[in-house]
Structure 1
């Protein structure tokens, strides 16, 4: 299955759970692409004592997942892309939605 995940939340627990789903799907042999939108582009900075979001992001990438971050949303936050949040476009989000068998949002 091709799974698309869109994270737009600034809440650590929700983002952490979205990444857990993506990691699980990758371990099942599925293809997973993740798009960070709106405040979701802040994901790598959401780490708390209980929810290591950036660690989950690294594991997701290590398993072959793909993470993209909205360039406009990053600019609005005076931020640049990074290894965990590479700059992308609405075209990339469109392609994730178009090409995925299922898309879930968090």
Structure 2
């Protein structure tokens, strides 16, 4: 299944959940594109111990997910 997730939010938890969902779908062998728009493009600046966005983004792209920002 091909899926596109679109995120346009400045809340780290929202972006974190999008990456988590994308990674879960990639584990199920789905084709996933994650489109970050607006304030969510700055996901690396939102990275924290509670919401490790950079780590999740790395896993997402290494798992052949497509990240558009």
Q: Please classify the TM superposition score into its range, dividing by the shorter chain length.
A: over 0.9
RMSD over aligned Cα atoms = 0.8
User: Are residue 31 (structure 1) and residue 45 (structure 2) matched?
Assistant: no
Give the number of aligned pairs: 69
Unpaired runs of 5+ residues, structure 2, are: none
Unpaired runs of 5+ residues, structure 1, are: 70-106
Partner residue, 1:52: 52
What is the distance in 2 between the residues matched to 1:45 and 1:56?
14
User: Are residue 66 (structure 1) and residue 63 (structure 2) matched?
Assistant: no
What is the distance in 1 between the residues matched to 2:26 and 2:5?
12
Q: Which runs of 4+ in 1 moved over 2 A?
A: none
**How high is the TM-score relative to the length of structure 1?**
0.63
Determine helix, strand or coil for the equivalent of 1:5. Answer: strand
